[in-house]
Amino acid sequence: MKHLLDANTLIEAKNRYYGMSICPGYWSWLLLQNQAFELASIVSVKDELTKGKDELAQWAKENSALFHEVSDEQTQAAFGQVAAAIAVQSERMKAGALDEFLSGADPWLIAKAITTGATVVTHEVLNLEVKRKFIIPNVCEMFGVPYMNTFELLNKLEARFVLPV
């Protein structure tokens, strides 16, 4: 896989511009791109999504092939590197920021990107001045991991959602 999806890209799409009943083509496109090895996500993201009781939770359950494991040795080792680097930075952050970051899917997503050479797809934006929480682009910068947002991904992969005439 070349791109790894953060949970917020799926949640935002469902809640706003690509609602599942409004734009089913988007959700089909994601699955087709996964089959073409262009994009995926990780089980930690699936776990976050399936805590809900909505149509996105059901979609995530029904499409488990989209979500890759993080239990492989390489990802585990990369997670250790991410955790260690973040721990060093935690002194300048709000109390609890380290625990909050490490308890979610984000460090695993970055670790998987490190091991696969994938680009992280997120709606978080680089902000090196942030002190309240660790954000994906800031951590990606620390490790030289590329990142982009959903719209950049759609353009890069030349997505087209065209109604029949």
Residue whose pair of structure tokens reads 């942030």 in the numeric block: 130
- 3-class secondary structure, 148: strand
Query: For residue 119, is it within any domain?
Result: yes
In-domain check, residue 116 = yes
Residue-wise pLDDT for 106-136, tens only, equals 999 999 999 999 999 999 999 888 888 899 9
User: 43-67 pLDDT, tens per residue?
Assistant: 999 999 999 899 999 999 999 999 9
Would 42 be classed as within a structural domain? yes
Residue 120 pairs in a beta bridge with: 4, 147
Enclosing domain of residue 103: 3-156
The verdict on residue 162 lying in a domain is no
Dihedrals φ, ψ of 3, to 5°? -135, 135
Q: Per the structure, how many domains does the chain have?
A: 1
> At which residue do the structure tokens 């680089």 appear?
126
Residue 18 has a pLDDT of: 95
Q: Tell whether 37 is covered by a domain.
A: yes
Task: List the strands of the sheet with 147-148, edge to edge.
Answer: 67-68, 39-42, 3-5, 119-121, 147-148
Classify residue 163: in a domain, yes or no: no
Is residue 122 included in any domain, yes or no?
Answer: yes
CATH number of the structural domain spanning residue 144 = 3.40.50.1010
Q: Does some domain include residue 164?
A: no
